[in-house]
Amino acid sequence: MKITTRFWVSLILSLPMLIEMILMPFTNFMLPGGHWTMVALTTAVMLISARPFVTSAWASFQKHHSNMDTLVAIGTATAYIYSIYAMLTDKAVFFESAAFVITFVLLGQVLEEKMRDNASDAIEKLVNLQAKEAEVQRDGQFVKIPLADIVAGDLIRVKPGQKVAVDGTIVEGTSTIDESMVTGESMPVSKAAGDKVIGATINSNGTFVFKAEKVGNDTMLAQIVELVKKAQNSHAPIQNLTDKVSDIFVPVVLIIAIATFLIWYVFLGTSVADALIFAVSVMVIACPCALGLATPTALMVGTGRGAKMGILIKNGEVLEAVNDVKTVVFDKTGTITVGKPAVTDVIGDIHQIIPVAAGLEESSEHPLAAAIMTYAKAQNIAATPVEAFKAIEGKGVQAQVNGQKAFVGNDKLLEDVEISADLKTNMLKLQNEAKTVVFVGLDNQVIGLIAIQDAPKATSKEAMAALHARGLKTVMLTGDNQRVAESIAKQVGIDEVIADVLPADKADHIKHLQHSGAVAFVGDGINDAPALTTANVGIAMGSGTDIAIDSGGIVLIKNDLRDVDTALALSKKTFNRIKLNLFWAFIYNVLGIPVAAGLFYGLGLTLSPEIAGLAMAFSSLSVVTSSVLLGKSKITAHTATI
Amino acid sequence: MTKIIVLIAGLALIGFIIWWFFGKHEVATGTATVANNHQDIDIEVKGGYSPEEVVLEHGVPATLHFTRKDASSCLDHVVFSDFGINQALPQDKQVAVEIDTSKPGEYTWACGMDMFHGKVIIK
């Protein structure tokens, strides 16, 4: 029988007794049939609603185990059996206590079950994001097929409003895509051929065709679901305490209950009935469930909420570690900076320089060439056609443009050509800003300079300010040279720079920093993996390599450094909620048991079994509710206020 | 006189509780049956798990078949925190839980409220 049914049965059967209890002091109202009616009602409650408690308690007893059911079963059975004996021998009975306790405990379980479902629905919501079908090219035609039939390499057409089925790369068409459900990024992202698309995101205005690359369990969404599942069910170290307590909890409570009875009856000389009531109250108020639920429910809600914001917290250990973090260390390239060098300044006549530079760099494979090409494209400047292209090893490239010799290259080219004093001062100025300067020349004369830099992400500065507001120290750890590193650090406001670090030494530097407190490391590359593992908290950028993502304890899907602050805020909040839950769960028992045992009898403070049952029901309910509320509470990231 | 008898009986009961719950008692261990390169074992969920310890062979895909015969809401989920599994166990229905046996070691499982525990040993 379902818990809900059991609850309604016991509630309806208990109601007459409740009415009698309330009305009796005023009107002397008695149930027709007196005690016999009570016996009948309570027996029905015991047989229908309480029997599962007894069977479960007995089954675990045989295995040398005990649980909440043990306490409820023994407590209510004691009250019930004693009352039958008391009725036959004409003493005071307390049938209603047994019935009320069962009703209240079941009420607590019904509500708690609802809340628990509520707490764990994050995964289901994620899975439901998945598209159900897609238009896939088969035999030259686009046909609708179910998601499961899509294989890597399929061409998939996505119309406006449709969901992108799997992960892939656009081959044709442009559009803007709402990726908020996966990355948490609220602004739609524009995409064109060559751009990656993520499964389960929603296409807004354009139609495009993309090639499926990752399907089934390999898609980003599937991986996120897997990560969140693991995180939600992981074990937080703080739970070790409750594990130990829960093993001995119920037997200890039983012993306390027996001792309570013995002390009241044997030593204080109360009646058997009074002594029994104290003992039953002790058994009923003790609630091991609240202790057991405190950590997992908060963990579930906290990690689920993170996933919604594009922040994957991998397990409970990470949550705890975040609390002690004093220093946040960042990798530079790809983490603080965009990771793609870009043109920052052009000195000279832009319409003369860029066509030449673009024409020459079109055929080059140098990373800086890509920066110039992107810039030309963005400025809508066409490349001048060139002839006789030639790369000069270590210096640059040269070619013929309109019959003149043109070149693009670094300062080593300067030995052979002339440069004006004005351009030379500009060059020095740019180099001092830690920019790489490229010279563009025509006919043995330098006509202009192009400065290229891996610029910081627009949000990096804000992210650092937020961490400082949190009282954390920020450090940059990079293999780049000191000048470039310092310039970037200054731009974004980082406290300390450790430059010229070999990839293999990154982890050692982290160890060194750990002497002055716990360290979080934020990185994205393969070379960051050891540092991510060494740090107390490893934070991997979602755009990073799979190895980095595997090594990190927290993954930021959005690639936005501001999420470091949000992740720290969320982790702290979740961990604090766990502590709060545990505090309440313990307090219930630490205070409830002595009161129930009649320790404060002298002060007139006692607990009847039915009140104890109500308190017990609400202890686990309040813990679960507190966890669910975590999903609604405000995450006070400092970024919001800057 | 009655009081002394009650006192003795009460103390004896306390002694029994200590011995019964805290004493060393044997734990039911089960080994999965291997057939067609797949190992299976049935686990009954009733006031705990029987068997409570399951020995699995390393590298052979394994399925644990849980059947909950207990109405207690304490046991309505089974959680393997190492594998990210949180499986609901409807009463009286057999539920299969796949276990990844690629890494030898001991993995514990627990009920949803972390009150009952079991262990998978992959050798």
pLDDT tens digits along B17-50 = 999 888 877 777 888 888 888 898 999 988 888 8
Residues A587-605: what's their mean pLDDT? 86
pLDDT confidence of residue A468: 93
Residues of B with CB below 8 A from A234's CB?
81, 84
Residue A640 near residue A465 (C-beta atoms within 8 A): no
Count of domains for chain B = 1
In a domain, B3, yes or no: no
DSSP string, A388-422: EEEEETTTEEEEEETTEEEEEE-GGGGGTSB--HH
CA-nearest residue to A235 within chain B is B81
pLDDT tens digit sequence for A55-87: 888 888 888 888 878 888 998 898 899 889 888
CB contact under 8 A, B17 and A254: yes
Cα–Cα dist A319/A537, whole Å: 9
A246 inside 8 A of chain B by CB: yes
Mutate to test the interface with B, among A51, A63, A117 (most CBs of B within 10 A): A63
CATH of the domain at B37: 2.60.40.420
ipTM over the 0.95 cut-off: no
Sheet of A133-138, strand order: A141-146, A133-138, A155-158, A208-214, A167-172, A196-197
Q: Measured between CB atoms, which of A255, A293, A295 is closest to B17?
A: A255
Peptide bond preceding B51 in cis form (omega within 30 of 0) = yes
Contacting A residues, span 64-103, partner chain B, CB-CB under 8 Å: 64-69
Beta-strand runs (E) in A244-379: 311-313, 325-331, 342-347
Query: Mean pLDDT score of chain A, rounded to an integer?
Result: 84
Residues of B with CB below 8 A from A250's CB?
21
pLDDT tens digit sequence for A531-544: 888 899 999 887 76
pLDDT tens digit sequence for A345-385: 888 888 888 888 888 887 776 767 888 888 888 888 888 88
Task: Fill in the DSSP letter of residue A382.
Answer: P
Residue A119 near residue A300 (C-beta atoms within 8 A): yes
pLDDT confidence of residue A326: 92
Residue A259 near residue B14 (C-beta atoms within 8 A): yes
pLDDT confidence of residue A365: 66
Residues of B with CB below 8 A from A62's CB?
47
Residues B68-93: what's their mean pLDDT? 84
DSSP string, B23-70: S--PPPEEEPEEETTEEEEEEEESSSEESSEEEE-TTS-EEEEEEE--
User: What are residue A345's DSSP bridge partners?
Assistant: A451
Q: At which residue do the structure tokens 């089974």 appear?
A: B78
A632 falls in which pLDDT band (50, 70, 90)?
A: confident
Which superfamily is assigned to A342-453 in CATH? Calcium-transporting ATPase, cytoplasmic domain N (3.40.1110.10)
A637 falls in which pLDDT band (50, 70, 90)?
A: low
Cα–Cα dist A310/A554, whole Å: 10
Classified as helix, coil or strand, A446 is strand
In chain A, list all ranges with CATH 3.40.1110.10: 342-453
CB contact under 8 A, A296 and B112: yes
Residue A339 near residue A324 (C-beta atoms within 8 A): no
Collect all residues from B whose CB is shorter than 8 A from any CB in A.
3-4, 6-7, 10-11, 13-14, 17-18, 20-23, 25, 28, 46-48, 50, 52, 70-75, 79-81, 83-86, 112-116
Domain that holds residue B112: 27-122
CB contact under 8 A, B72 and A52: yes
Task: Fill in the DSSP letter of residue A147.
Answer: G
CA distance A521 to chain B (A): 24
CA-nearest residue to B86 within chain A is A233
Task: Fill in the DSSP letter of residue A456.
Answer: B
Plot region of A139 (φ>0 → left; ψ -120 to 50 → alpha; else → beta): left
Task: Fill in the DSSP letter of residue A92.
Answer: -
DSSP string, A468-530: HHTT-EEEEE-SS-HHHHHHHHHHHT-SEEE-S--GGGHHHHHHHHGGGSEEEEEE-SGGGHH
In a domain, B65, yes or no: yes
Indicate the burial class of A452 (C-beta count within 10 angstroms; 0-12, 13-18, 19 or more). Answer: buried
Beta-strand runs (E) in A215-290: none
pLDDT confidence of residue A367: 66
User: What are residue B96's DSSP bridge partners?
Assistant: B65
Q: At which residue do the structure tokens 């490229």 appear?
A: A438
* Nearest to A131, CA basis, from A166, A174, A171, A155: A166
In a domain, B22, yes or no: no
pLDDT confidence of residue A642: 36
Residue A291 near residue A245 (C-beta atoms within 8 A): yes
Q: At which residue do the structure tokens 């048991």 appear?
A: A593
CB contact under 8 A, B79 and A67: no
In a domain, B40, yes or no: yes
CB contact under 8 A, A288 and B20: no
A636 falls in which pLDDT band (50, 70, 90)?
A: low
Instruction: Give the catalytic positions of A in this structure.
Output: 331
In a domain, B99, yes or no: yes
CB contact under 8 A, B20 and A116: no
**Domain A311-338+457-557: which CATH number of 3.40.980.10, 3.50.50.60, 3.40.50.1000, 3.30.465.10:** 3.40.50.1000
Q: At which residue do the structure tokens 């593992």 appear?
A: A533
Indicate the burial class of B121 (C-beta count within 10 angstroms; 0-12, 13-18, 19 or more). Answer: middle
Q: Give yes or no for residue A24 having a pLDDT over 90.
A: no
In chain A, list all ranges with CATH 3.40.50.1000: 311-338+457-557
Q: Give yes or no for residue A165 having a pLDDT over 70.
A: yes
